[in-house]
Amino acid sequence: MNYVIRSFELRGPRSLRIATLFERPYRRIVDDLPVSYVGFTIPDEFFVGYGFALDGRHRNLPDLRFVGGG
């Protein structure tokens, strides 16, 4: 995402914002990445559903389900 932001900034947009549905601030690799809109801040747990899978399964669940710590 940092690369994408830098690439767009070279083109001189009037504004540029980052939006994310899920955020794990304690897992963030780039500290200075300015996220303007956050849907949910989620805990440091493994989850499945809503497109996230465990061993290729549970991806089609309509919601998130936490399945364990870390």
Indicate the DSSP class of residue 4. H
Tokens of 4: 């994408």
- Report yes or no: 24 and 44 within 8 Å, Cβ to Cβ: yes
**pLDDT of 13-62, one tens digit each?**
999 999 988 888 777 777 778 889 999 888 888 888 877 788 888 888 88
Q: Give domain limits for the chain.
A: 2-69
pTM: 0.64
Fold of 2-69: Rossmann fold (3.40.50)
More confident residue, 63 or 11: 11
Residue 12 clears pLDDT 90, i.e. is over it? yes
